Amino acid sequence: MNKKIQKALAVAATATLALGVVSISQAQAAAKVTTVSIAYQGPLSGGEAQTGIDEQNAVKFALKQYNDTNPAVKVTLVSVDDQGDPSVAGTVAPGTAANKNIIAVVGPAYSGATIASLPYYKAGNLPMISPSATRVSLTNPKDKASYGGPVFHRIPSTDAKQGPALAKYAVQGVTSPKVYVIDDQSSYSTGLRDYVLKQVAKSTLVGKDSIPNDATDFSATLSKIKSTDANVVIYTGYFSQASKLIKQLRGAGYKGVFAGGDGVLNQEFADLAGKDAEGARLTGGTIPLADADPALEVKFKAAMGVASGVYAVESYDATNIILAGIKAGKLTRLAMLNWINAYSGTGVAGNTISFDRFGDTAGAGFINGFVITNGKVVSKGQIK
Amino acid sequence: MFSVLIDQFWSLTISGIALGFIYVLISLGYTMVYGVLRMINFANSEIFMFGTFATVVITRDVFHYTSLTTHSTGFRLVLILLLSLIASMLTSAVVAVFVEFVAYRRLRARGTNKLATLISAIGISIVLSETMRLLTHSRPTGSGRVLEKISLGTLWGANIRIDNVLTIVAASIIFILLDRFVKLSRMGKAIRAVSMNEDASKLMGVNLNRVISTTFLIGGLMTGAASFFFVTVYENTKFNIGFSMGLAAFTAAVLGGIGNIRGAFAGGIALGLLETYASAVLGTQWKAVTVFITLVLVLLFRPNGLFGEAIQQTRA
């Protein structure tokens, strides 16, 4: 036999075998309709990993509680790691969308990653509930490039609320504030920055800068802050850069207020920056689980082996909405989407959760303030 | 726009020079290897990255520094800094020699073309950074503050900080030692001979493999010193830190004239200053744009970089 023909036959035989395996496994899957999957998508590795690990722990906790009740339909978790990075999200989202076992996604955690994932989830009718993506345009139908409807939903309030709250919280108690605003050029950061700038009075704004997310040396920015004599620095990026920035700020002798949004709100910010993080003021449309339901926090610790992190309540609520749908027999993506759109229930914090037609929660509307005290993120309650 | 530059000129200049010295030391890793092999060592960024982790290991694991530990003083401070510097230099040197052995030596012995060596260097670079990524779970690693960043006084209104002074003084000493070594020592002469004419130096009895290994070793030592200063000043590292720092240092080497150690010096300092001034005047978002436009302009008028041809004899 000709060598070429031999090769072609070999390829054909392998392909047939492979297809056979696929069809068998599909048949098996069809036989076992009693198991469905939900995905969690967020940064599980990379600089922002702590955010994703904290959120996913809450998702796992909700799933464990559900599966422990021996339900008719078991639910498994698929972890989707987008590193919080839009370019990575664009490569992992197609696989998530194509996995027909996944009927809903908790996440993505970050706004930029959400925008990059949306085209695939919209095409696959895959419903999403994000516990932490706060960029305003995600629920604005006029913004064609980043509008997430009808599949996107989120629990926390948006940066339209967080921006002004952050600007207010940063200058609280500061006599004659001089505000310097820094962003990291990401979709989340520039969006939040714009809403912060709307609130900061023109007379108090002394400068702004935009530092790429991979910068290591901030000395030029430090010099500008020094030359403008700023006493309030607001950073709208994420915690791993924020920890570098605050270290260099304090190292250069800056004594004023450092404030950040929910991107900075993370225990790892305090861990990485150490003593320099003391007194930093942070905001977020989230409430710590220990404050919302202390008894549940005890159970969480017992089940997961660690304390809950930031956005635990929102991740837990998002997962429970989906689990309630599964209990009600919504086992396809479309049925789940309709379920979520029509959902109305109570969250851990006692708030009513239901979604408007653009995917925002009707009940959410608070932004909490936090201060780093003795190396820990401490909640100071709602920013009025 | 320029008011910041005028107002903060000396403060910007000092931090620009300190950053520049870190670039100088890393770019020596590129320039030394280029000098003898006429090839870019793309793994130099990872040689740098491994060095940064050596300093972290010494401070965090040997001396148990956390981000909450108070800084050290006196003898203990000198001991920790010295041990970290040595550990970083040795780690980077070992990684550099390893890279030469794995990615360069055998390919060279078989007379493969330069493109294959280039790819094998990129390959080993990826292996090194991915290994560290897995070891650190892709997480950033903070380093405790060993050296309190006290101000030594002000000069023309600029705050003179001890970490910047330490970087500038120590890096200058290391640079001068290297310059003298290459100029005066027997091995230095052999390195320069190979750099000028490989075949002729072989005929003169120069052991080529030894010269090349030594060059990688020295390049590694320099890059490792840069790692130490980097962690001391910026107090953090990450598995992919080599990429941005390596790219900047490579740019510095090309700007100064690659293959020329004094060129690396000029290029590094120029780049550090340029980056800092551009960030201050135009905003940090314009830093990279300014740097690369300048690089292209310099290469248009001086294709071999600032010092490329002028001082051939000091080629390393």
- Which residues make up the CATH 3.40.50.2300 domain(s) of chain A? 32-156+291-354, 160-284
Integer Cα distance of B181 and B173 in angstroms: 12
Contact flag B140-A47 (C-beta cutoff 8 Å): yes
* Interfacial B residues in 4-63 facing A (CB < 8 Å): 4, 7-8, 11-12, 15-16, 19
Q: Which residue of B has its CA nearest to A209?
A: B283
Note whether B241 contacts A: Cβ–Cβ < 8 A: yes
Residue predicted with more confidence, A139 or B113: A139
Percentage of chain B beyond pLDDT 70 is 97
Closest in A209, A253, A271 to B284, CB measured: A209
Min Cα–Cα distance to chain B from A171, Å: 24
Q: Which residues of B touch A272 (CB under 8 A)?
A: 67, 140, 142, 236
The pLDDT of residue B216 is 95
Integer Cα distance of B211 and B84 in angstroms: 27
Contact flag A216-B234 (C-beta cutoff 8 Å): yes
The pLDDT of residue B312 is 43
Residue B282 belongs to domain spanning:
3-314
Q: Which residue of B has its CA nearest to A50?
A: B139
Q: Is the pLDDT of residue B279 over 60?
A: yes
The pLDDT of residue A122 is 95
Contact flag B283-A209 (C-beta cutoff 8 Å): yes
Number of A/B CB contacts below 8 angstroms equals: 115
Q: Which residue of A has its CA nearest to B22?
A: A217
Closest in A224, A240, A247 to B235, CB measured: A247
**Residue B221 — left, alpha, or beta (φ > 0 → left; ψ -120 to 50 → alpha)?**
alpha
Residue with tokens 């130096």: B201
Min Cα–Cα distance to chain B from A189, Å: 14
Note whether A79 contacts B: Cβ–Cβ < 8 A: no
Of the residues A223, A243, A376, the best mutation for testing chain B's interface (the one with the most B CB atoms within 10 Å of its CB) is A223
Q: What is the DSSP string of B11-51?
A: HHHHHHHHHHHHHHHHHHHHHHHHHHHSS--TTHHHHHHHH
Q: Is the pLDDT of residue B11 over 70?
A: yes
pLDDT (mean) for B288-313: 79
Contact flag B284-A253 (C-beta cutoff 8 Å): no
Rounded mean pLDDT of chain B?
89
Integer Cα distance of B236 and A232 in angstroms: 24
* Interfacial A residues in 270-289 facing B (CB < 8 Å): 271-275
The pLDDT of residue A3 is 56
Integer Cα distance of A154 and A283 in angstroms: 17
The pLDDT of residue A4 is 58
Note whether B3 contacts A: Cβ–Cβ < 8 A: yes
* Interfacial B residues in 203-232 facing A (CB < 8 Å): 230
The pLDDT of residue A24 is 46
* Interfacial A residues in 29-48 facing B (CB < 8 Å): 45-47
Min Cα–Cα distance to chain A from B314, Å: 32
Min Cα–Cα distance to chain B from A267, Å: 13
For residue A132, CA distances in Å to A56, A234, A261, A360 come to 12, 20, 12, 12
B68-81 confidence digits (pLDDT tens): 777 878 888 999 99
Please write down the long-range contacts of B124-131, taking CB distance under 8 Å and 24 or more positions apart. B124/B43, B124/B46, B124/B99, B125/B42, B125/B43, B125/B45, B125/B46, B125/B242, B128/B43, B128/B46, B128/B49, B128/B50, B128/B95, B128/B99, B129/B45, B129/B46, B129/B49, B129/B239, B129/B240, B129/B242, B129/B243, B130/B239
The pLDDT of residue A177 is 94
What are the structure tokens assigned to B69, written together? 């530990």
Q: Which residues of A touch B283 (CB under 8 A)?
A: 209-210
CATH label of the domain that carries residue B149: 1.10.3470
Of the residues A219, A235, A239, A376, the best mutation for testing chain B's interface (the one with the most B CB atoms within 10 Å of its CB) is A219
The pLDDT of residue B313 is 45
The pLDDT of residue B29 is 93
Note whether A221 contacts B: Cβ–Cβ < 8 A: yes
Closest in A49, A185, A223 to B138, CB measured: A49
The pLDDT of residue B151 is 83
Q: Is the pLDDT of residue B308 over 90?
A: no
Fold of A32-156+291-354: Rossmann fold (3.40.50)
Closest in B4, B236, B288 to A224, CB measured: B4
The pLDDT of residue B310 is 40
Of the residues B236, B241, B292, the best mutation for testing chain A's interface (the one with the most A CB atoms within 10 Å of its CB) is B236
Q: Which residues of B touch A274 (CB under 8 A)?
A: 66-68, 142, 144-145
ipTM: 0.83
Closest in B12, B138, B275 to A46, CB measured: B138
Q: Which residue of B has its CA nearest to A269?
A: B142
CATH class of A160-284: alpha beta
Q: Which residues of B touch A373 (CB under 8 A)?
A: none
Q: Is the pLDDT of residue B274 over 80?
A: yes
pLDDT (mean) for B238-264: 91
When divided into structural domains, chain B yields a total of 1
Integer Cα distance of B125 and B121 in angstroms: 6
What confidence tier does B57 reach under pLDDT thresholds 50, 70, 90? Answer: very high
Contact flag B67-A221 (C-beta cutoff 8 Å): no
B147-200 confidence digits (pLDDT tens): 888 888 888 878 888 999 999 999 999 999 999 999 999 999 999 999 888 889
Closest in B12, B15, B140 to A272, CB measured: B140
Contact flag A220-B151 (C-beta cutoff 8 Å): no
Integer Cα distance of A33 and A101 in angstroms: 9
The pLDDT of residue A215 is 86
The pLDDT of residue A31 is 47
Min Cα–Cα distance to chain B from A337, Å: 34
Three-class secondary structure of residue B297 per DSSP: helix
Note whether A374 contacts B: Cβ–Cβ < 8 A: no
Note whether A240 contacts B: Cβ–Cβ < 8 A: yes
Torsion of CA A183, A185, A188, A193, to 10 degrees: 30
Q: Which residues of B touch A375 (CB under 8 A)?
A: 68
Note whether B157 contacts A: Cβ–Cβ < 8 A: no
pLDDT of chain A, 384 residues: tens digit per residue: 455 555 655 555 555 444 444 444 444 444 455 899 999 999 998 878 888 999 999 999 999 999 999 899 999 999 999 999 999 999 999 999 999 999 999 999 999 999 999 999 999 999 999 999 999 999 999 998 899 989 999 999 899 999 999 999 999 999 999 999 999 998 899 999 999 999 998 889 999 999 988 888 898 999 889 889 999 999 999 998 999 999 999 988 899 999 999 999 988 899 899 889 999 999 998 988 988 899 999 999 999 998 898 899 999 999 999 999 999 999 999 999 999 999 999 999 888 899 999 999 886 578 999 999 999 999 998 887
What confidence tier does B314 reach under pLDDT thresholds 50, 70, 90? Answer: very low
